[in-house]
């Protein structure tokens, strides 16, 4: 079921990606050094604000009820409830570039230049793709200003997912709100994507699927931030929704909004875990908890049977080598 929906968008196709030169191999894909992680590099510790935000993503809000929130926060949350109830909550359509990339992935005659041409048609997306390619996940010692090089670094099998993530980022950033939150959430999503690739065999997934799952793990959070910004514009509320309001919205409405996006985008098999995939979802939750703990200096979650602490620590070490969140 999952394989069929992925193949529709080019994932797992028989067409191999173009060969990469040795120097373009990403740091997270290098073999782990023989030394233990603690002998080579310490954990990546984020700022206090980022740590608080990340912990809130995996915690139940402590707010007893809406009435305890400030008036503007109540307005934001009540507007989301109203839009969900009336089926008027706006889910951005998949960008035309993502659709074109999907078509190219399924076309055996397409080449790298075709993908570059598709990205070039969207200037804002081109900037986002360059920024991603120059991030620590993909960037080499010398940053690139070439869109062709950027697409080559990211890789065709991952390009469509990065296009969707960039589209979601842009929708929020255009509002002028949540700039820090978008950055923290984007870094967390890409970290989870690459950690998923490293542990794909343990997760029981193909590497491309593991990357996609991680990248879109926080899809609903981006959509909620965009909706809150839209409410602010509509009601001319100058006040930024509080962090408490933001996490209340994530907690209360995240699942419904994810399901809504999955239906509209016809990606239910990819975005909504069925009963047979509950175990995969639980494993992603565990590696996310471990990832956040390693980045904030918090205590690691309890050990689980499906992966040893040592193997998970080694995977996190590989990710740390990229210097990312």
Residues 244 and 288 in one domain: yes
pLDDT at 192: 95
For 261, the token pair is 């996006």
Residues 76 and 220 in one domain: yes
Q: How many residues does the structure list for the chain?
A: 325
Residues 195 and 124 in one domain: no
CA angle 214, 294, 211 (to 5 degrees): 15
Cα 92 off chain centre by: 16
- Contact between 283 and 201 under an 8 Å Cβ cutoff? The reply is no
Categorise residue 236: left if φ over 0, alpha if ψ from -120 to 50, beta otherwise: left
pLDDT at 230: 87
pLDDT at 175: 82
User: Distances in Å between the alpha carbon of 123 and those of 99, 126, 129, 286?
Assistant: 17, 5, 10, 37
pLDDT at 79: 94
User: Does residue 213 lie within any of the structural domains?
Assistant: yes
User: How many domains does the chain fold into?
Assistant: 2
Q: What are the per-10-residue average pLDDT scores of the chain (325 residues)?
A: 38 39 34 38 74 94 78 92 93 84 90 93 88 78 88 89 89 87 93 94 91 93 92 84 91 93 84 74 95 93 95 91 60
- Contact between 153 and 180 under an 8 Å Cβ cutoff? The reply is no
User: Does residue 28 lie within any of the structural domains?
Assistant: no
Q: Which residues contact 134 (CB under 8 A, 6 or more apart)?
A: 143, 144, 150
Residues 101 and 76 in one domain: no
Domain that includes residue 160, residue range: 93-174
Residues 276 and 310 in one domain: yes
Residues 72 and 136 in one domain: no
pTM: 0.81
- Counting Cβ atoms within 10 Å, is residue 144 exposed (0-12), middle (13-18) or buried (19+)? middle
Residues 188 and 303 in one domain: yes
pLDDT at 20: 38
Of 114, 139, 174, the residue at which a domain comes to its end is 174
Q: CA 186 to CA 182: how far, in whole Å?
A: 6
DSSP structural state of residue 15:
S
């Amino acid at each position: 079921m999952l394989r069929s929906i992925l193949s529709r968008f080019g994932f797992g196709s028989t067409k191999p990606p173009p060969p990469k030169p040795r120097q373009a191999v990403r740091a997270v894909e290098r073999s782990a050094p023989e030394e233990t992680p603690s002998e080579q590099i310490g954990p990546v510790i984020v700022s206090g604000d980022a740590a608080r935000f990340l912990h809130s993503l995996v915690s139940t809000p402590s707010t007893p009820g809406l009435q305890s929130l400030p008036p503007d926060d109540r307005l934001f949350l009540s507007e989301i409830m109203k839009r969900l109830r009336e089926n008027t909550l706006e889910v951005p359509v998949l960008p035309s570039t993502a659709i074109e990339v999907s078509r190219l992935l399924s076309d055996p005659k397409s080449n790298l230049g075709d993908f570059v041409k598709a990205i070039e048609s969207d200037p804002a997306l081109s900037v986002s793709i360059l920024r991603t390619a120059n991030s620590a996940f993909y960037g080499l010692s010398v940053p690139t200003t070439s869109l062709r090089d950027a697409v080559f670094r990211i890789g065709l099998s991952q390009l469509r997912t990065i296009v969707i993530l960039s589209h979601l980022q842009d929708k929020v950033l255009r509002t002028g709100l949540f700039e820090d939150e978008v950055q923290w959430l984007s870094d967390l999503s890409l970290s989870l994507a690459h950690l998923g690739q490293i542990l794909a065999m343990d997760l029981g997934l193909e590497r491309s699927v593991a990357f996609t799952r991680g990248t879109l793990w926080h899809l609903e959070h981006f959509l909620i931030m965009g909706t809150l910004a839209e409410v602010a514009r509509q009601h001319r509320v100058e006040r930024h929704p509080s962090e408490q309001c933001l996490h209340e919205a994530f907690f209360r409405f995240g699942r419904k909004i994810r399901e809504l996006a999955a239906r509209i985008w016809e990606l239910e098999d990819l975005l909504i875990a069925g009963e047979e995939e509950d175990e995969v979802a639980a494993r992603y939750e565990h590696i996310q908890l471990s990832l956040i703990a390693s980045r904030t200096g918090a205590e690691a979650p309890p050990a689980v049977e499906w992966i040893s602490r040592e193997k998970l620590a080694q995977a996190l070490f590989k990710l740390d080598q990229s210097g990312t969140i």
